[in-house]
């Protein structure tokens, strides 16, 4: 076993361990795990396999192989014959390959050549007019960028055109041609599994049968294609055909393809194992944390917690598991299971009487409007038993005002009063770094109805709904309709407890259920006012906040350690790749 093979096999723990969050994607190199988590190490391993393949380091060379120089002679003879027969056109000669273009040394028997030397024909596509119905919904498959990078073979397309559509601007690629994106999807490639029309972002390459098409696809996958252009980055045909191809003997091409397929299958297995393990781990964590919130007695809760504590270092090893733990802690807090109750605490019913009296005083003074009567709270709405001294209430019983920002787009100015929308608080804090501005006059007009002040709470109501944000600044600003403003008699209502309560699963479920619409979903103000909340005694609220802050800080520390460990694994994977390529 050579050094490159040892690096592939001896470091499997590094390849499998390194992971990071990733957007979803498809195709061999996507490297997707469950819930958007990709195995970074396996992604790097795939890249390394392909890089070693085209450098001649993946399979051994055999002196008995006919050298690639003879293969290139046959391809040249094939092209000259086709030109003489008038089947293809003679292309423009390209300059010889300079030493600086040769990115690495090649084994004996290999040759550097340009992509143009393998291409027999190349065609560009087009798009029939969208305004002419005669061009569309026919029987001819019509490919665009979105149809590529799904599978190796292009077998289906999302759009179809007619014969008239083909004659009006598109071009037909033949079965077996290579379809390559030259703009908007640089690097995408597929083999046409049937005759297919292509659009202007694609090119169809018919390459010589003397070159193994799978070897070429593997090589093409190693390219880091950087396009040019002001609007949409693309690559010119001449530039594409000038790419330098490390070309092995024909028989070695076959060996390389077979070895790449074998190793990619192993990568698939590694990824599947990781995905299955991640899904099982997530289900286990969810189940065990659920036993805490569902415990029917103190003894049950204690036994369930001991079970989790005994396996803490095994259960909470991912960021998602820490987030699940945070949510469970918040739920336990609002269920009265996080801190002990003190019988000497004044019951929440007395606190609610004072809040009601304060609201009636403000109504009598004309400072707030009298709200509509609230529906009574039914037993079916109460999702759990609360401790003695606690009370169930609706949000409107605590709030003096629940409104949202302006429903029209204001006139923006270069500087002035910040105008915040949901994007400026989606992380749970006010962020003035990229806000737009409105004039002082317009702000004053908007403030007559909606005036955020220090100590108030904001609530996101469009997009990611139900995120509470504390107004922790005296800076003036206005808000858009995507944000709700909550005001309350803050001398009596603990704003920090309320913020934590809104962040808990108890209220998150209600936020989700109160969000209406299909496209741009909106959390309805009326539904916010009807939210069912739990109110502990005032003194216990302070104890809950202190305990939640303490535990959340510990969770954040644990998450930081996990992130650092993942970053280290990624660096190790990168170093191993660099070591393998440099040998």
**168-219 pLDDT, tens per residue?**
878 899 999 999 998 888 888 999 999 999 999 999 999 998 899 999 999 9
CA 80 to chain centre: 50
Q: Which residues pair with 191 in a beta bridge?
A: 153, 178
Q: Are residues 294 and 158 in the same domain?
A: no
Q: What angle do CA 331, 335, 341 make, to 5 degrees?
A: 130
What is the C-alpha to C-alpha distance for residues 156 and 137, in angstroms, rounded to an integer? 14
Q: What are phi and psi of 406, to 5 degrees?
A: -60, 145
Higher pLDDT, 466 or 231: 466
Given a cut of 80, whether residue 14 has pLDDT beyond it is no
Query: In 222-297, which residue ranges form alpha helices assigned H by DSSP?
Result: 237-241, 250-293
pLDDT in tens, 234-290: 888 888 889 999 999 999 999 999 999 999 998 888 888 888 888 888 898 888 888
The predicted model gives 430-457 an average pLDDT of 95
Which pLDDT does position 403 carry in this prediction? 95
Confidence of residue 580 (pLDDT cuts 50, 70, 90): low
- Evaluate whether residue 496 is within a structural domain: yes
Residue 43: per-residue pLDDT: 84
d(CA 144, CA 126): 10
- Domain with 457 in it: 348-536
Is 161 within the bounds of a domain?
yes
pLDDT in tens, 495-508: 999 999 999 999 99
pLDDT in tens, 69-85: 999 999 999 999 999 99
254 in a structural domain? no
Cα separations in angstroms, 177 against 217, 456, 518: 12, 64, 42
Tokens of 215: 């070897």
Rounded CA gap, 318 and 343, in Å? 39
CA neighbor of 466 nearest in space, from 494, 423, 503, 421: 503
Asked if 385 and 404 sit in the same domain, the reply is yes
The predicted model gives 158-171 an average pLDDT of 88
Whether 428 and 333 share a structural domain: no
Identify whether 566 is part of a domain: yes
Pick from 192, 214, 248: which residue ends a domain? 248
- In the three-class reduction of DSSP (H, G, I as helix; E, B as strand; rest coil), residue 218 is classed as helix
Regarding whether 220 and 93 lie in a shared domain, the answer is yes
Is 297 part of any domain?
yes
Query: The CATH number of the domain where 434 resides is what?
Result: 3.90.220.20
Q: Supply the DSSP symbol for 172.
A: E
- Residue 452 CA, distance from chain mean position: 33
pLDDT at 160 over 70: yes
**Average per-residue pLDDT for the chain:** 87
Provide φ and ψ at 195, rounded to 5°.
-65, 130
**Cα separation of 271 and 159, whole Å?**
33
**Which pLDDT score, from 0 to 100, does residue 24 have?**
35
Residue 253 lies in a domain: no
Answer yes or no: do 174 and 121 share one domain. yes
Asked if 464 and 439 sit in the same domain, the reply is yes
Using the predicted structure, report yes or no on whether residue 35 has a pLDDT greater than 50: no
What's the CA gap between 37 and 21, in Å, rounded?
5
Which distant-in-sequence residues (6+ apart) come within 8 Å of 583 by Cβ? 3, 4, 57
Question: Do both 289 and 186 map to the same domain?
Answer: no
Looking at the domain assignment, is residue 529 inside a domain? yes
Say yes or no: 174 and 162 in one domain: yes
Write the DSSP symbol of residue 228: B
Of residues 366, 401, 422, 363, the one with CA closest to residue 525: 401
What confidence category does residue 365 fall into, taking pLDDT thresholds of 50, 70 and 90? very high
pLDDT, tens digit, 9 for 90 and up, residues 530-561: 999 999 999 999 999 999 999 999 999 988 88
How far CA 411 is from CA of 424, 462, 482, in Å, comes to 18, 21, 17
To the nearest whole percent, how much of the chain has pLDDT over 90? 56
Residue 209 forms part of a structural domain: yes
pLDDT surpasses 50 at 26 = no
Same domain (yes/no): 171, 293: no
39 vs 3 pLDDT, higher one:
39
* Helix segments in 517-583, DSSP class H: 525-530, 538-582
In Å, how far are 187, 289, 295, 421 from 304, measured between CA atoms?
A: 52, 8, 8, 42
In this prediction, residue 32 carries a pLDDT of: 40
Q: Tell me: do 428 and 285 sit in the same domain.
A: no
Helix pair 298-310, 250-293: axis angle to 10 deg: 150
pLDDT tens digits, 367-405? 988 888 888 899 999 999 999 999 999 999 999 999 999
Please tell me the predicted confidence (pLDDT) of residue 29: 42
**Residue that terminates a domain, selected from 214, 248, 282:** 248
Question: In total, how many domains does the chain have?
Answer: 3
Same domain, 333 and 416: no
> 387: which 2 tokens?
């401790």
**In the listed set 228, 248, 268, which residue is the last one of a domain according to the structure?**
248
DSSP 480: B
The DSSP code sequence of 189-257 is EEEESS-EEE-TTEEEEEE-TTS-HHHHHHHHHT-----B-SSS-B--HHHHHT-EEEE--HHHHHHHH
**Residues 533, 534, 535, 537: what is their CA dihedral angle, to the nearest 10 degrees?**
-170
Give the global pTM. Answer: 0.68
Average pLDDT over residues 81-94: 88
As a whole number, mean pLDDT of residues 26-31 equals 39
Q: Are residues 387 and 462 in the same domain?
A: yes
CA dihedral over 278, 283, 284, 289, signed as positive or negative = positive
pLDDT score, position 31: 39
């Amino acid at each position: 076993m050579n050094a490159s093979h040892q690096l592939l096999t001896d470091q499997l723990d590094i390849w499998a361990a390194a992971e990071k969050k990733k957007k979803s994607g498809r195709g061999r190199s996507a490297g997707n795990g469950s819930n958007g988590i990709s195995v970074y190490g396996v992604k790097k391993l795939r890249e390394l396999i392909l890089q070693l393949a085209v450098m001649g380091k993946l399979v051994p060379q055999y002196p008995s192989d006919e050298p690639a120089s003879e293969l290139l002679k046959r391809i040249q003879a094939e092209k000259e014959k086709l030109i003489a027969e008038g089947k293809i056109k003679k292309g423009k000669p390209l300059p010889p390959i300079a030493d600086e273009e040769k990115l690495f040394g090649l084994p004996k028997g290999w040759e550097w050549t340009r992509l143009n030397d393998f291409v027999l024909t190349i065609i560009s596509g087009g798009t029939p007019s969208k305004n002419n119905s005669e061009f569309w919904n026919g029987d001819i498959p019509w490919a665009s960028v979105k149809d590529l990078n799904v599978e190796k073979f292009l077998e289906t397309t999302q759009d179809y055109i007619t014969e008239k559509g083909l004659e009006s601007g598109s071009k037909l690629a033949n079965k077996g041609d290579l379809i390559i994106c030259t703009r908007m999807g640089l690097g995408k490639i597929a083999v046409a599994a049937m005759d297919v029309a292509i659009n202007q972002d694609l090119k169809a390459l018919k390459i010589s049968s003397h070159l193994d098409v799978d070897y070429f696809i593997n090589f093409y996958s190693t390219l880091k294609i950087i396009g040019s252009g002001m609007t949409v980055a693309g690559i010119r045909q001449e530039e594409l055909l000038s790419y330098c191809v490390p070309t092995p003997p024909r028989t070695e091409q076959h060996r390389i393809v077979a070895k790449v397929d074998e190793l990619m299958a192993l990568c698939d297995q590694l990824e599947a194992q990781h995905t299955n393990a991640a899904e099982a781990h997530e289900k286990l964590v969810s189940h065990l944390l659920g036993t805490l919130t569902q415990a029917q007695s103190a003894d049950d809760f204690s036994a369930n917690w001991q079970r989790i504590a005994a396996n803490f270092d095994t259960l909470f090893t991912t960021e998602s598991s820490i987030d699940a733990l945070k949510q469970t802690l918040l739920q336990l807090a609002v269920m009265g299971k996080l801190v002990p109750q003190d019988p000497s605490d004044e019951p929440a019913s007395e606190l609610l009487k004072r809040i009601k009296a304060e609201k009636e005083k403000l109504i009598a003074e004309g400072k707030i409007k009298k709200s509509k009567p609230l529906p009574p709270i039914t037993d079916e709405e109460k999702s759990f038993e609360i401790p003695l001294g606690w009370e169930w209430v609706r949000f409107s019983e605590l709030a003096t005002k629940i409104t949202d920002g302006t429903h029209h787009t204001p006139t923006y100015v270069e500087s002035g009063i910040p105008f915040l929308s949901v994007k400026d608080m989606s992380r749970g804090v006010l962020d003035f770094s990229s806000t737009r501005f409105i004039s002082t006059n317009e702000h004053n007009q908007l403030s007559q109805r909606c005036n955020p002040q220090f100590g108030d709470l904001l609530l996101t109501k469009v997009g990611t709904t139900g995120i509470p944000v504390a107004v922790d600044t005296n800076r003036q600003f206005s808000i858009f309709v995507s944000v709700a403003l909550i005001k309350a008699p803050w001398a009596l209502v603990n704003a920090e407890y309320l913020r934590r309560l809104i962040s808990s699963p108890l209220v998150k479920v209600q936020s989700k259920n109160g969000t209406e619409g299909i496209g741009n979903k909106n959390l309805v103000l009326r539904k916010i006012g009807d939210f069912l909340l739990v109110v502990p005694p005032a003194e216990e609220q302070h104890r809950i906040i202190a305990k939640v802050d303490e535990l959340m800080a510990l969770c954040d520390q644990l998450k930081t350690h996990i992130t650092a460990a993942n970053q280290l694994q990624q660096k190790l994977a990168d170093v191993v790749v660099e070591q393998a390529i440099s040998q």
